Structure 1
Amino acid sequence: MKRQHTTLLVIGGGPGGYVAAIRAGQLGIPTVLVEGDRLGGTCLNIGCIPSKALIHAADEFEKARHWAQGSALGIRVQQPAIDVAQTVRWKDGIVSRLTGGVDALLKKAGVQVLRGWATLRDGKTVEVQPSAPAQGQGAEPRVITCEHLLLATGSVPVPLPSMPFGSAGGAVISSTEALSPATLPRRLVVVGAGYIGLELGMAYRKLGADVAVIEATGRVLPGYDEELTRPVLATLKRLGVVLHLNCSVEGLTEDGSAVRVRSTMADEFVLPADRVLVAVGRRPRTEGFGLEGLLLDMSGRAIKVDEQCRTSMRNVWAIGDLTGEPMLAHRAMAQGELVAEVIAGHKRRFAPMAMPAVCFTDPEVVVVGLDPAEAERRGLDCLHAHFPLAGNGRAMSLESTEGFIRVVARRDQHLIVGWQAVGRGVSELAAAFSQSIEMGATLEDIAGTIHAHPTLGEAVQEAALRALGRAVHV
């Protein structure tokens, strides 16, 4: 068995792992990255990127169908059709270009990439079983010792005990399978009205499937402020997505052709389904690579880390979904960069003022920092104001006037502590929201900044002006 030694060994080539490895390589740290599947992890291969590609395709198809019926823009088209296989090939092409780019960046940074599955022997020793012979790597297992071990193994979808993934002849699927359909189901049942379930459920509905959503709580997107979710609920109703709120899943019928559902009123009914998407959440990937042998401090299923992403074992680090919520690719990237710089001797700590979260439903939802209710729970005396996109010229020209921008600021000093937005294209405002909070901007700073016209960004300025009692366009 071949043996080698490195300064930094990264387990997992997702957004956190590959960014950590690239940054470490830039800093001159000898680095080895082990990835058993494809570089880019869940985000690039079966998550963020392919889901947004599928959502875009669904939006364009719905738009074409709308134009076939005539539109206020004067556009007329013939009845459109969609080739799902071609859509999937197009999506896979985007993924391939991005993962290929990651591979090139790792090589440029001098990072050695091993394609294989890692098993932890201890906090400084890992055995790697090659997943496939790679150029210059061969198929021989190897043992790698390291000075620093970085765990970045990501997360996996949570299954339902009553309906495990792959059951009913493969009809029960996770988001992974939902993103690469060979065919479109006529009837799709989605279990879970969180962001994954609604993003994919809405996309499938726009592609032509009949969609029903089952949610245990009383509303969609239960993790978000209810005011933000109302425009999303309106779109679900417009699209004809059937919602079953305050309901739980009992399992499949005996022949596997329908889902058994129970309401809080104790009534049981069945929903016919050709495919069932289970989207009830994700959990840290902690099994299958010997993690339990390190006896690290845990917080539930997640590894507990400090503000430098150190675990309870010296020189063992953990980042990303493995460390729990919020499970966001950009959080993992920031943590990965930080770990590399701390190992290089830089003075860094992970203490962002705000962490942006985006839900790519129709319309999109963005949350950065505190909403009014959370500010109140924390004992902050805050004021807040929102500006409706119905008053924004750019939103009108995009035929997307539903939604609003909301700002939350401390009443005493007008320091901005939160932004929320719902509307078409508002995901692109997330950077401005985060930057204003990170830099300690006040309402006056945003109100006094000239925003280009006509843009959605004007609604950001207008929200700040309204909070100051100086609204111009509302």
Structure 2
Amino acid sequence: DIRITAEHVILATGSEPVELPFLPFGGDVISSTEALSLNAVPGRLVVVGGGYIGLELGIAYRKLGAEVAIVEMADRILPLYDKALTDPVHKWLERHGVQLFLGARAGGFGDGALSVTTKDGEPLSIPADKVLVTVGRKPRTRGWGLENMGLAMDGPFVKIDDRCATSMKNVWAVGDLTGEPMLAHKGSAQGEMVAEIIAGRAHAASARGASGSAHERRFDPVSIAAVCFTEPEIVSAGLGPADVEGRDDVITAIFPFAAIGRALAIEAGEDGGFVRVIASKTDHRILGIQAVGQHVSELSNSFAQMLEMGALLEDVAGTIHVHPTLGEAFHEASLRALGHAIHI
């Protein structure tokens, strides 16, 4: 045995793919990990799970030439996003010959075929060279001694406070191990903060301009933007339509990329893409921003920045946006929310 002593320990074990008991990983049944290191493009790939990981990889392999089918239990792809955001992705899949089995349940895999029960209860057998199971991820809590530490848990995750401190003194946890959203950029930001605290810079200015009276570091972002790298891409930051459903104190405005010159020039304006802004009706503070379209991941940082700064619709409207850029759609959506969009 090797014994290592330390003043501080940071737990950053990440997450791992969820396995289905009737589709255990191994052989031609693979997780996203193996999908990233195949030595050849499978002729026929069946993806079980129509969330963002399954669609990102399924679309990538379709572009590489594989025949792709997607099996999803929900009635539509990307069920965590609203239908308006996912419709352009659905249309891309249909245009490129990706088979969709929605409201369907996967069964076992054998003899080169996956058993599926359709929405109507009909049994199907889908030929597959590889079956990619992407039904979610879970924190990696086994295999490294967590059970010996006696840490407080928050469901399946390690419980932390707003400094990423666990219930054990000088033991910290960051990233997927600590809960949703399970995103790389969240884990990186937490890791940077913990490193500064350990290094004695706990009173340095925080990402939010030093929250707390003593300017102590706290992990308290207003928003962590998420991107689905599909075709086209989807960005979501802050509150979405489901979060404000039934509320009469919000304004929602959409501006299509079809009316943006740069989008048309790079052939990114024909797939139904748009930017949506959700704001408070009383003070016009921006509450949420979503977009779907080619290259919209590049707008995600602008969305997060505006939310982090507590921007009003007038702040975006009053910022001169460069022409021709995709970001003009954010400008125009904000103008539209104020009632005076220029190009629609």
Q: Which amino acid aligns with 1:205?
A: R
1:296-335 deviation per Cα after TM superposition (whole angstroms, max 9, x unaligned):
1112221111111111122211110001211101000111
Equivalent position amino acid for 2:238 in 1? G
Contact 1:173 1:278 in 2 (8 A): yes
* 1:349 pairs with one of 218, 231, 248: 218
Q: Distance in 1 between matches of 2:123 and 2:155?
A: 33
Larger Rg: 1
Q: Tell me, yes or no, if structure 1 residue 274 matches structure 2 residue 129.
A: yes
2:91 pairs, out of 223, 234, 238, with: 234
Let me know the Cα RMSD of the aligned residues. Answer: 1.3
Q: How big is the shift at 1:372?
A: 2.5
Contact 2:164 2:194 (C-alpha < 8 Å) held by counterparts = yes
User: Is residue 286 of structure 2 the alignment partner of residue 449 of structure 1?
Assistant: no
Alignment TM-score, normalising by the size of structure 2: 0.93
C-alpha separation in 2, matches of 1:305 and 1:376: 31
Q: Which residue of 2 aligns with 1:417?
A: 287
- 5+ residue gaps, structure 2, are 204-215
1:149 aligns with 2:9: yes
Structure-to-structure mapping, 1:44-123, within 5 angstroms? none
Q: Secondary structure at the match of 1:146?
A: coil
CA displacement 1:178-227 (0-9 Å, x = unmatched)? 11221211111000101111011111112111110000111000111211
- For residue 161 of structure 1, the aligned residue among 8, 18, 21 is 21
CA contact (8 A) 1:376 1:382 kept: no
Residues 58-99 of structure 1: CA deviation (Å, up to 9, x unaligned): xxxxxxxxxxxxxxxxxxxxxxxxxxxxxxxxxxxxxxxxxx
Which runs of structure 2 are paired with 1:150-189 in the superposition (5 Å)?
150-166=10-26, 170-189=27-46
Q: Distance in 2 between matches of 1:173 and 1:458?
A: 41
1:393 to 261, 267, 276: 261
Q: Please give the residue correspondences for 1:12-411 in structure 2 after superposition, counting only pairs within 5 Å.
A: 142-166=2-26, 170-253=27-110, 255=111, 257-343=112-198, 344=200, 345-346=202-203, 347-376=216-245, 381-401=249-269, 402=271, 403-411=273-281
Mapped to 1, the partners of 2:86 and 2:186 lie a distance apart of: 24
**What are the Cα deviations for residues 405-464 of structure 1, in whole angstroms up to 9, with x where unaligned?**
011110000000110000001000001000001011100000010000000011110000
User: Normalization by structure 1: what TM-score?
Assistant: 0.68
Opposite residue 251 of structure 2, the aligned amino acid is: L
Give 3-state SS (helix, strand or coil) of 2:186's partner. Answer: helix
Unaligned runs of 5+ in 1: 1-140
1:266 is displaced (CA, Å) by 2.5
CA distance in 2, matches of 1:304, 1:267: 44
Q: CA deviation at 1:380?
A: 7.6
For residues 216-263 of structure 1, the C-alpha deviation after alignment (integer angstroms, 9 at most, x for no partner) is 11100011121100000000000110000111111113x3x1001113
Range with bigger deviation, 409-418 or 300-309: 300-309
Distance 2:8 2:59 in 1: 44
Q: What are the Cα deviations for residues 114-166 of structure 1, in whole angstroms up to 9, with x where unaligned?
A: xxxxxxxxxxxxxxxxxxxxxxxxxxx53111222110011111111111111
Cα offsets for 1:264-300 (capped at 9, x unmatched): 4322111010111111111111101110111211122
Find the aligned partners of 2:12 and 2:248 in 1 and give their Cα distance. Answer: 35
The more displaced of 175-184 and 285-294 is 175-184
Checking the alignment, whether the CA contact within 8 Å between 1:380 and 1:410 is kept in structure 2 is no
Question: Structure 1: how far apart are the matches of 2:194 and 2:151?
Answer: 18
